[in-house]
Structure 1
Amino acid sequence: MNFEKYPFEKLNELLEGITPNEKYELSALTIGEPKFQTPDFIQSELKENTSLLQKYPASAGENYLKEAMVNFVKNRFNVSLELNQIIPTFGTREVLFNFPQYVLFDKKNPIIAFTNPFYQIYEGAAIASRAEVIHIDLTKENDFKASLSDDELKKCDLVILNYPNNPTSAEMTKEELALWVKKALEFDFILVNDECYSEIYFDEATKPASLLEASIEAGNSEFKNVIVMNSISKRSSAPGLRSGFIAGDKEILEGYMKYRTYIGCAAPVPLQKAAAVAWNDDNHVEEFRKIYRKNFQIAQEILGITPPKATFYIWLEVEDELEFTKELFKEKHIKVLPGSFLGRNGIGKGYVRIALVENETKTREVLQRLKDFIDG
């Protein structure tokens, strides 16, 4: 298999040999990893259950974890799921990689479409599945919203959307997602939405919709051909818990669950205990949302950007993203991620991705440094 280098490896190569300004400490705005402590109540649950390390974890996940995830979906999206419509996963990276391999295995000439720019695991899954790729290009001209022609959709076996979107911070409404559900039914392809950023939003009135809600909106209450994935990593500042889920079409999930028994990536039971209490609580998530909301207020004040409705990313338009990244690192000791490392066929060129995952004080300092660089 010939996989592309990961964006962060490309970034290290781009910056190799550059001596940054030692006047400043390094500020890395590249990776989407929250820089906040995982809440104490989650840590305590983990510590109190270390004795359960003596048990093999069930591949299907413990029922209390599945019930916590079902409760989350009900409380957040007002969607009722049965236990056979959801499977706990070891975060979402592994499921985004192996689910396409499972569903495309029996296809003679599989075709997968996904949003571009993208989380690189989508491309890795396509390579591992020997699938032809159709890129769903997200540009300023289409408001970074996913769209394909009927002729393209007729070819697809699997489509992966990602809303709220990494890296552009764009959103699609429930009604817009419902149109995709109707196309999935019309042309009989599996439709996935990677919803890992669904809980990083800033206004209750415009909080992101789930593809599950959109499926019901489209009259598809059994979620035929519809799959969502979500994770606790951003929501609870707990990426180390590796707690995610895949939910939707129970017929697809029944076969996929059998496949998962061979993978061997079930989460250790103490982690499942800790994840369950995290999924069942929203108060701590609102506290994190307040921090991100404040960070974007600072970004609006200093950079003049319009805050997104969700995610913690700024998709900043620049003249030359590679030169911008190198010079910013050299002059201000700030790392950002060139958009062209996240896209293909020229998509992402002219942008850098900035992750606002630090506290208010650090965010203000580094964004002022960035503004000084831009103003030159």
Structure 2
Amino acid sequence: MNDALNQLQPYPFEKLRALLSGVQITTDKAPIALSIGEPKHRSPDFVAAALSANLDQLAVYPTTLGIPALRETIAAWCSRRFGLPVGVFDPARNVLPVNGTREALFAFTQAVVKRDVAPPKGPGLVVSPNPFYQIYEGAALLAGAQPHYLPCLEAHGFNPDFDAVSDDIWQRCQILFLCSPGNPTGALIPVDTLKKLIALADKFDFVIAADECYSELYFDEANPPAGLLTACGELGRHDFKRCVVFHSLSKRSNLPGLRSGFVAGDAEILQAFLLYRTYHGCAMPVQTQLASVAAWGDEVHVKANRDLYREKFDAVLAILHDVLDVQHPDGGFYLWAKTPIDDETFTRELFAHEHVTVVPGSYLSRHVDGHNPGANRIRLALVAPLAECVAAAERIRDFVKGLPV
């Protein structure tokens, strides 16, 4: 077996199951899970109809590149959403459908990381925020690279302090992972920062991989969050050199089970990634592609989705503000709350006394230089129905009020 498998850490939810195993529940209250970021809002009926209407495509081998209709729909969506000039985003060269961003982020890293690189670029680094989506780390290790973590602290708006990164780190960087809105913090990376990172990518020759799967969950309808493509467009960088974005229908359209997303950007990188994926054998089924065309072509259900999250955030924060240090995020569907006691104890005791499940922040982060930026924080996923989210918030409030002073 690949020796790098021994370097993989347990997934956060494996750690959570171990933490809660054997805990004696001291209440008869029904369980409420705010732990897993699985959208629970209703999937669009018209997408299900498009899927079922094309089941005859079960008899067709899909191509890795995908059908033109899907790539054209995605290219048009990217141009509208991120303000790109008409015609600069080529459906045949700048877009590649994938089976959700999780597998794409992993596979992309295997394709991009260069092995046996001589100094000063080697050994190669995959740089990511901390806390982070654990796929970034696992993909780096299995590609033969070394993860490097940039803490996301409140002092910097829960974004990495990119100005504090040394030239030596940038010199060794092969992939810089970004996540905006961030998981779990909800922080947005400003477009001016994205432009600075593009300049660094040019100077030090690394690829920016922007995980933007939460990009359509925001709260100000008049100001959708900027993305890496926005920065490219404003710079006139219409070749999208060294810039690749990852998007998904899972959060945007409440379709996690459809396993549908896309990778877009630098055509040269995508051409090589397409070659990798052709051997990888991960083409999206045609019926799924046709259902995805329907989803990417509609914004009404996406706005309705945001309205539901907005209602939940307002209700939950009104309850929690008096007992926890927690801010309204800029995007996403998570709250990143400080805990008055250590995050593992808080999680375990909350589960025992109130039957509410959350994730310890330290499980989503790594210790670097003796500090874990997720310590004494919990992640709350507001994916349950409004009434359940409100009930969970009330239980958390009561639990915190009952803690020893």
Q: Which residue of 1 aligns with 2:199?
A: 182
Kindly report the root-mean-square deviation, in angstroms, between the aligned alpha carbons of the 2 structures.
1.2
Q: Which residue of 2 aligns with 1:21?
A: 26
Q: Is the 8 A contact 1:320 1:349 kept in 2?
A: yes
Q: Which residue of 1 aligns with 2:377?
A: 351
Q: Which residue of 2 aligns with 1:10?
A: 15
SS in 1 for 2:216: coil
Please list, as runs of the form range in 1=range in 2, the aligned pairs for 1:237-256 lying within 5 A after superposition.
237-256=254-273
Q: Is the 8 A contact 1:91 1:243 kept in 2?
A: yes
Moved more, 140-149 or 226-235: 140-149
Q: Which residue of 1 aligns with 2:125?
A: 111
Give how far 1:116 is off: 0.8
Q: Which residue of 1 aligns with 2:292?
A: 275
* In structure 1, distance between residues paired with 2:338 and 2:27: 27
**Per-residue CA shift, 1:160-188, capped at 9, x if unaligned?**
11111001111111112111111111111
**Per-residue CA shift, 1:275-310, capped at 9, x if unaligned?**
110011010000010000001101221112432121
- For residue 320 of structure 1, the aligned residue among 342, 347, 351 is 342
Q: Which residue of 2 aligns with 1:329?
A: 351
* In structure 2, distance between residues paired with 1:64 and 1:136: 39
**Per-residue CA shift, 1:206-251, capped at 9, x if unaligned?**
3211101112333422111111111010000001111111111111
Moved more, 201-210 or 31-40: 201-210
Q: Which residue of 1 aligns with 2:53?
A: 48
* In structure 2, distance between residues paired with 1:131 and 1:255: 19
Amino acid at match of 1:86: V
Amino acid at match of 2:249: I
Amino acid at match of 1:310: G
SS in 1 for 2:28: coil
Q: Is the 8 A contact 2:179 2:211 kept in 1?
A: yes
Moved more, 25-34 or 198-207: 198-207
Q: Which residue of 2 aligns with 1:362?
A: 388
SS in 2 for 1:88: strand
Which 5+ residue runs of structure 2 have no aligned equivalent? 118-122
Q: Is the 8 A contact 2:115 2:144 kept in 1?
A: no
Q: Is the 8 A contact 2:343 2:362 kept in 1?
A: yes
Give how far 1:70 is off: 1.0
- For residue 314 of structure 2, the aligned residue among 283, 297, 304 is 297
Note if 1:307 corresponds to 2:328: yes
Moved more, 101-110 or 245-254: 101-110
* In structure 1, distance between residues paired with 2:116 and 2:229: 26
Amino acid at match of 2:10: K
Give how far 1:110 is off: 2.0
Moved more, 222-231 or 140-149: 140-149
Q: Is the 8 A contact 2:362 2:375 kept in 1?
A: yes
Give how far 1:40 is off: 0.5
Q: Is the 8 A contact 1:175 1:217 kept in 2?
A: no
Note if 1:134 corresponds to 2:137: no
Amino acid at match of 1:372: D
